[in-house]
Structure 1
């Protein structure tokens, strides 16, 4: 099972995670009507059930930690360093919009944070169009992301002025829920994508890619392969944002480090 999960998603499943994985898989044992974990595995690997079950299996074993404005320094760099350069080049060239990709969007906190930051910047810079593609391997989290509804406690990192502009509170205040405003929801397109795939159905002239805190789950060869594919989707001068514990060291890619795990394609 661990070998299949790593081959399919790139995510390493060491022996230390065995109890956690087995606990999560019990949800699928119940859902599929299998007698136990052994029966579930037999159905998948001996009974031909893997084709239909793979997506659901990955849904329950993947970890989707996320929050609004996570690693906040990245959004400052995007706003103060990357955007001025990208907008200057946009004014001088035939670009019709700013293209951004959130590669591991989870339940949507990262792409909606990007939408807030870029919507504010658009107002300050005379207006520009923003297209955000947000992908994840888990269909379960993408369904949550598309609804754009979150518990109130999750929006604590969002600055108060942005909460006023971009969040709607439930009419039933007892539910303590908020929803991203429609204009921001229209900026983001969600879709399922596996970073282990040989090719990505994403534009190859992107201005910004966020791929944060996912590479740490891959082994080194997988990291290098994914990074090379991501680089191919950035236009020259485009920016790649990685998690603070991730880097491009030894990749040989035409990317210049700018600090805070931010890189610009040469």
Structure 2
């Protein structure tokens, strides 16, 4: 009986295909640069996010695209590659149980309260943090927000959202922190300048050897990020976060992220919230 080639492998001349070897090559590159672990289950996602870019560069294979990245560690295409493969699912007050904990923590430590949001995405999370702190402590620059993806950071800094994106906020929050668009922009809102001014945005790759952050923080948000890293990378990041937290500072992680490393000076305080103990051993 003649073997029938699966339709997905019977490609027409010029049709772009991502084979296993190319997937492994791209996975190695994104892991080395951003710590993101990609497996064969992500093959379709990788293809969908990169195929248009490969065609835009007039390349015919993913191997050529990988070679372009490998040609120079500072090639501008690296940022496009990273932007394409990072996931930026977010919303205002996502995992809402964290924010009353943050508010009470800030209320007890009002002097020079500082928060680092390590995965700012398009800005909903740092804005939620800034609103929480403003309601407790008043106006002031207290949130440092970073992301590896330059495109989402630009959107965060612009502070423009759809009106439906803020429907979960109270009427008082919508009025106090947002401006409604007019005319053809009526479906959009813009974060008011005072709230945007309380957030300092900058690009940071969590895998970089040095982070451009000098002073310690009272709280760090790294939610739904470490699920994309392997155990070795997770432990290294947790150690670095602990050193950047003030004694008694809080580390907020995602609902599906759980860590149990006895050597770390972090103890579980509540649902996906860790507290830095006094002893940094």
Which residue is 2:197 aligned to? 186
- Which SS does the other structure have where 1:141 is aligned? helix
- Which SS does the other structure have where 2:168 is aligned? coil
Which residue is 1:21 aligned to? 46
Q: 2:69 aligns with which of 44, 48, 52?
A: 44
Does structure 1 residue 84 correspond to structure 2 residue 107?
yes
Q: Deviations over 1:88-133 (max 9, x none)?
A: xx3xxxxxx211100001000000011111111124xxxx644211
- Which SS does the other structure have where 2:137 is aligned? helix
Alpha-carbon distance in structure 2 between the residues aligned to 1:158 and 1:13: 35
Could you tell me which runs of 5 or more consecutive residues in structure 2 were left unpaired when the two chains were aligned: 1-25
Bigger Rg, structure 1 or 2: 2
Alpha-carbon distance in structure 1 between the residues aligned to 2:200 and 2:189: 20
Aligned residue pairs: how many? 252
Does structure 1 residue 212 correspond to structure 2 residue 223?
yes
Q: Deviations over 1:131-175 (max 9, x none)?
A: 211000100100100100011121122222101100111012654
What displacement does 1:49 show? 7.6
Alpha-carbon distance in structure 1 between the residues aligned to 2:265 and 2:64: 48
- Which SS does the other structure have where 2:116 is aligned? strand
What displacement does 1:50 show? 6.3
Q: 2:173 aligns with which of 162, 167, 182?
A: 162
Q: Deviations over 1:43-80 (max 9, x none)?
A: 333x4486221111010111110000000000011113
Could you tell me which runs of 5 or more consecutive residues in structure 1 were left unpaired when the two chains were aligned: 91-96
Q: 1:135 aligns with which of 141, 146, 149?
A: 146
Q: Is the 8 A contact 1:204 1:235 kept in 2?
A: no
What displacement does 1:231 show? 1.1
CA RMSD of aligned residues (A): 1.7
Q: Is the 8 A contact 2:119 2:145 kept in 1?
A: yes
